[in-house]
Structure formats: structure tokens, C-alpha cells
A and B are shown apart, each in its own frame.
Chain A
Amino acid sequence: MSAITGPLSEGEAAADAQRPWTSTLHEWAMTVDHKRLGIMYVLGGLVFFVVAGSEATLIRLQLIHSNNTLISPQLFNRLLTMHGTTMVFFVGIPIVFGFANYLVPLMIGARDLAFPRLNAFGFWLFLFGGLLLYFSFIAGDGLAGAGSAPDVGWFAYSPLAGRAFSRGHSTDFWTVGLLIAGIGTNATAINLVASVFTMRCPGMTLGRMPLFVWMMLVVSGMTLIILPPLTAAQIMLLFDRFLGSHFFDTQAGGSALLWQHFFWFFGHPEVYVLMVPGFGYVSEIIPVFSRKVIFGYAMVAAASVSIGFVALTTWAHHMFTVGLGAAPNALFVASTMLVGVPTGIKIFNWLATIYGGRIRFQVPMLFCLAFLFQFLCAGLTGIMLSVAPFDYQLHDSYFVVAHFHFVLIGGLLFTIFAAIYYWFPKVTGRMLSERLGRWHFWLLVLGFNLTFVTLHFVGFAGMPRRIYTYPADRGWDLLNTVATLGVPLQIAAVLCFVVNVVVSLRRGAVAGNDPWDAWTLEWGTTSPPPAYNFESIPIVHSRRPLWDLKHPEDPDGPHE
């Protein structure tokens, strides 16, 4: 296993610079290379992140004080729908699958995914699904009237999303946009599962795969189980709206709850589809920056698999208040609490990995550590919400909003930034600036906690979600103002990040193959890796092939 081809020679670089930009564009548009598709996935996700973040900013501005008239109720509902939909389907999913696209083949010592063309197909479906969704803003009444963007919530509950209550085509943009993107996501999930099972290099047994690959296997498997029911429900909704069927049409005897079961059977495991990859990044980064092997590899992998299974049985905790009755509610209380156990186990494993280590507080590690604190909060408020009688009070209140933003921002987004700082050198050959990175980190920690710790209390004070304004006599003004004050800090943090990426791409320190002194296969090839990844397919003998090379006297692990 040796490092291969260096960067372009000077002659090649000069020739490269002379090519017209159209030919570069053509190359990217036509590519089936998993690395380029991975980069485009993540970049696409980040662009949508800025869009959906701006929508959230408008929402927070509208709620800064009571009886605000900055935004009309109609537009507010469009914004909250587009914010949620975009963050889940066009930020979370493309970024986690983008990372998997880039990293899984490198980590398992393969030259590409099993089906490169299917991979490109999946990416373009995601992109055009997203563009179709956003086209709704200029459709109908046009931009000034905020178009006919969907306004029925990212969950599109029936019968509100039915033809009787959602006229025009806004809901159809939502349905068809997600349907298209969903097919792309499914294709990518199939690709990842197939690649993990068939493309591993010699010696890379399942038990030697990096934990990140394990987690993406779990995530892809879950996706294949949960996404088709959503697609089916969306097709049924289209039938209702266009062909006059009555699956969810309560005016003609249809069932409102049927949609909720379909949606949450997808929607709850979806949270794990987004979060488990985050666990994967953390499980790769924490050991490297603690200079210690992961504590209890088998346990972490097994915990991920069990999360994958248990998460499939918890969906109706989103429906505690629909009146299912005490017995079904009790069942879902049990499964929901149970899913906390493997999640807790992982936190202990990460702690034990750091324990006795020699911690390097560099930016990727800082994001991982903040993740540990914030995810701990998120997990514990999750357990609180799993107690159904408690949920009867706080369901659909700002407490829930705070809870899942702690999961998806405090948890997922922080791990995504950790992953970007960690793998950026591999992808571009340049290091991101530590100094700007620290600014980015501290501003985000401060802004995020200012906004979302506060929102827990807004929920305790009885403020429901999804209201475009509230009366002055409720006493929610002060807390809402404080929550909104966290927003500029978060915007500043994201600006630091953007500047960091742009500047470092041109002037960052040259990374070399292995800047973090890490142990997994991707650090054994050049930065950026050549199109074919490895000159010769590597042969591995342990979970940490690069550790073996660096420490021939003390090869990895007494496992197996």
C-alpha cells in the first residue's frame, strides 16, 4: 500500500489552466467519479443550507416581538414549510450522502462505488428535485407575492394538504419535488449497500471496516426501508389531488391518521438517517485527535445497527396527542426510551476513547466536543419527551423545536463542520485556517446556544410551534427576543466558514497526504486523490492499516 501519483506536474497544470471553462463544466456535469459527485452533493447541500438558513432568519425576525407584522401569515407559513423541507431533504440528506459518496470507496480501498452511473443519476435527481421545489417561489403569484411555495408544513398533514384545503399547486411542488429527490436518495442508498458488500479491498473484512462505513451501511439500509413508504404515500396524495381518490380525503371518509403513520414511519427514522452519519464522523475524528484507538469498536458498530432496528419502531411518538389510547402510546413510549440506550452507549464509548488519550484541541475536535455536550442535552430532552404525559403538554410547542434543533444543529451540523475541517485537506490538498476555524466554532457555539437553549423555556411557557405571531399578554416577548439575538452570531459564524473555505482554497497551507497523522485508508493516497484513488488496490491486515505502517512494532489491535 503506497502513496501514488503526486499532484499535477507543472506542464500539466499549465495545460489545465488553458482549457476553456466550458470544458471543465462539461467534465463536472458528465462525471461519474464518486469524488466529484460527493463534492457536488456537499456543495449543493451547503447552498441549500444558506437558503434554508435565510428562511429561518426571517422566521426569527418575525417572532422577535408580539404582534409583529413584518411578514404576512401566508408567507410565514411558506417559509416555515420550505425551511423544514429544505433542511431535511436538501441539506441533511445530500450532505451525509455526499460525504459517504466521497469517503466510503476510499475507506474500503475501492476505486469507485459499485454503480458509478447510478450514482450520477441519484445526484442529478436530488438537484433537480430541489430546483423544482424552489421553482415554486417564482411560480403562481411570482416572487413579490412569494409565488406558490408550499405552505402546509414539511409534514404536509392531511387533510390540510388535500385538494379541499390546499388549492393551487403549492402542495404539488412539495410532493413531486420530494418524490424525485427521494428516488435519487434511494439510488444512492442501494449503491452504498452494494459497494460495502462487494467492493472492499483484500483483507477488509466487515469487522475491519472503519466505523463510518459501518454507520453508512446502517443508514443506507434504513433509507431503503423508510423512503419507499413515503414515496407511496406521496403517490397516494397525488392520486387524491389529481384523480379524485379518497385515501386521505376526510370529507369523503378518508383517514387523516393514515398519512401521519406513513409520514412518521419515514420521518422518525429519517432523524437517525441524518444523525447516525454524524456519529460516524465523530467515531473517526475523536480517536485521531485523542491519539487513541476507538474504545469498544464492536460495541459502537453493534449500537449503530440496533439503533437502525429500534428506530423503525418508534414513529408514533410523533402522534402521542392524536388519541391512539393508553396502550399503543405505552408501546411507543417503550420503544422510544429503548432507542436512547444504544445512543447513550456510544457517548460512553467516545468518552472512554478520549479518556487516557492525548487530546489535540484542533478545530475538528472542538466541533466534536461541542457535539458531545449538545447531543447529550438533545438526548436527555428526547427522553423527557418520550414520557407521553409530559409530551401531552410539550408536543408541538417550542420545547420540541428546541429539542430537535439540538439534535440537528447541535448534533448533526456540528459534526458536519467537524467533518469538513477534518476531510477538507484530503479533498482539496489544502488546510483550512485554524484561526478562522476557531472564530467559526466559538461564534456558532455561542449563537446556537443563545437561540436554542432559550427556546426550551419558550416552550415551557406554553408557546406553540408554527404560529406567525402571538398576543402581547402571553409573556413570550423577552425570551423570543433573546432567541432571535442568537441569529446574527450564527450568521457571523457561517460567514467565517465561507471566508475560510474561499481563502484556504487559494492560500491554505499545503496538506500533504496525511496531515492529521490518521489511520484509515483515505489518508494513504494523495490529497486530492487521483481519479482512480489508489494506484494499486491496498491490502489491509487490521482496522487501522496506516497505524500498522507507522508502528510495525505494535500492529493494530488484539481483536478478531
Chain B
Amino acid sequence: MLGITGAIFVVVAGLLVYILVRFRGGAGSEGTDPPQIYGSQRIELAWTLVPLLIVVVLFLTTARYLFAIELTRPTAGALEVTMVGHQWWWEIRYPALGIVTANELHLPLSLPEGTSPTFITLQSADVIHSFWVPQLAGKLDLIPNKTNRLWLDPRRPGTYVGQCAQFCGVQHAGMLLRVVVHPKPEFDAWAAAQRSPAADEPSAHLGRQVFESVACVSCHTVRGTRANGLFGPDLTHLMSRTTIGSGVIDNTPEHLRAWIDDPNHLKPGVLMPAMALSREDLDQVVAYLATLR
């Protein structure tokens, strides 16, 4: 397609340059007008039909691909994932595996022999978002009250970056997404780790108490604790993720501390409020969260 449009550009622009050079009015040509040619039905018919023909061919090719890449039902053996867009983060669920996570989508590698694509169901909890990881697939919107379906067929392991592509409010730019493609055994190990219950290290019990006694629990979930909120990302395996704030900053205890203290500072406009904890409480909560691997 780039070839076709490129060729058209070269031909037409070349013609235009040729005409401009050949028919530039020199000195002494003032006052005389060239022969007036009013048109030619035959030529005009030709330059109507030729573009029409190109368009028909282009359309048929497009339509073929359009139908070929549409796949509305998962193939047997495909991994099913549900992604829910939120202002401004991604909720990621693996219903068959019983996993809930956020902002980092982990996928198994497709095998070269038989395709085992990943099937993603896209939904939104608030406004319209759009799933776009350029190196893996074209984009598709996440729309409230509408379910869209997209399939991915990753052939190379690695980390792919993407982000929300539909304007969704103040932090549209801060709604980043990572996709990690693992070889199958590695993916299975990851899934097993995600399924395991949240860590409960005795050294962090004090932190857990603080965490459970403040407002964190009304928005976040840590499985097996009082925290069962659904408004923010699931924190059961928080430290297994590489970023916080949907990709705006690396996930380290120092950043986590700054984030809980005032997320607005790192991601202006974010819906999570500043927690206004005392210094000691903050340290203990961070210490607790840092155990949630």
C-alpha cells in the first residue's frame, strides 16, 4: 500500500514539476494568452476510470484481510484474558487461572507449529480507553457497556510497551501498559506464583495492621486480608510488577513510599488520594507492601 501511494505520489508530483518548469511564463510573454482548451471528455473519462480501478482493487484486498483477521470466538486451547480499563490503569483478569493483576499483561509464547493465540476480552469500568501495543496488534477500544474481543499471537519472547490510545482524561498519558511474553514453562511458573496466596511474613505484621486499619482496604484487594476493595489495582502480588502508577515510575520501596505519601506528585490528577499517614505508619505500610511478592 505504501508502494501504491508512493508510486502515485511520484507520478503526480513529477508531472506537476514537469508542467511548472515547461510552462513557466518567461519575460516577454505578458499580454499574450495561450490557446484556451476547455476540456476533453476522453481524457477526463480516463482519469476517472483509472483511479476508480485502483480503488476497487485496493478495496477488495482490504476487505479480504479485514475478514481474515476478525476472530470473534476463542480457538480451542487459547488463553483467555479479560482486561478492564479504568481511569488510569488496566485491570487484568485470567478467569480460567484465577489470577487478578494490573498494568502488566503476561502471555505465553505462541508455538510455531499450532497457533495458540491469547484471546482478550476488552471492557471498561468508566470512560472509553483503547488497547494498543503496536508491536503485537492493532488497537481496539475498551468501551463501557460494550465488549470487544481481540486476539494476540506473540511469536517472540520479551517485553513490549504500549499505552492507552483513546483520550480518557487528565492522566491519559499516564496509562501505560507492559506486555511480557514468556516461553510456556516460564509463563506457567509466573501463573503459579500469582495464584499463590499473599505473603504473610511475621516481620511485617505491624505494617499489615496499619494497612488494614486505614482507607487502603476500601479500594485495594490483598487476598486473604481485610482489603477487598475493587476500585484500585489488586495488590496481592504487588512486588511482582516492575512499575507503579500504571507505568509512570519504577516499583521500588522508595518510590512506593513517595507514591503512598502523595501519588498526585508522581502522577498529577490520579484518583488515589494522598494517605496522610504518620512517618512511622508510612514506613510500616511500605515494609508490609514490600513483602507482597
Contacts and interface: CB of A to CB of B under 8 A. Distances in A.
Interface of A: 72-74, 77, 151-153, 157, 159-160, 164-165, 250-251, 253-257, 290-293, 295-299, 321-323, 325-326, 329-330, 333-334, 337-338, 340-341, 344-345, 347-349, 351-352, 354-361, 369, 372-373, 376-377, 380-381, 383-384, 386-393, 395-397, 462, 464-471, 473-474, 554, 556-559
B128 interface: yes
Interface string B11-30: 01101100110011100010
A286 to B, nearest CB: 11
B51 A341 contact: yes
Given A358-B23, A396-B166, A559-B38, A469 B1 contact: no
Contact of B34 (A253, A322, A358, A386): A358
28 contacts: A73-B170, A157-B166, A159-B126, A160-B168, A256-B143, A290-B23, A296-B44, A297-B39, A323-B146, A325-B70, A334-B59, A337-B58, A341-B51, A351-B15, A351-B19, A355-B23, A359-B23, A361-B24, A373-B13, A376-B9, A381-B5, A386-B62, A390-B1, A392-B139, A397-B165, A466-B173, A554-B36, A556-B36
A329 B139 contact: no
Contacts of A298: 39
Nearest first, the 3 closest Cβ-Cβ pairs linking A and B are A392-B138, A467-B173, A296-B39
B276 interface: no
A340 B39 contact: no
Contact of A345 (B51, B146, B167): B51
Nearest to B173: A467
Interface residues of B, number: 76
A464 B166 CA distance: 8
Contacts of A347: 12
Contacts of A251: 144
A384 B2 contact: yes
B32 to A, nearest CB: 8
B24 A389 contact: no
Contacts of B16: 351, 354, 369, 372-373, 376
Centre residue among B127, B132, B134, B170 by max chain A CB count within 10 A: B127
A250 B145 contact: yes
A396 B55 contact: no
Contact of A292 (B5, B36, B137): B36
Nearest to A361: B24
B130 interface: yes
B269 interface: yes
Contacts of B247: 471
B145 A253 contact: yes
B172 interface: yes
Contacts of B51: 340-341, 344-345
Nearest to A550: B33
B173 A380 contact: no
Given A359-B20, A387-B58, A468-B173, A257 B143 contact: yes
B66 A389 contact: yes
B134 to A, nearest CB: 4
B161 A474 contact: yes
Centre residue among A151, A153, A321, A333 by max chain B CB count within 10 A: A321
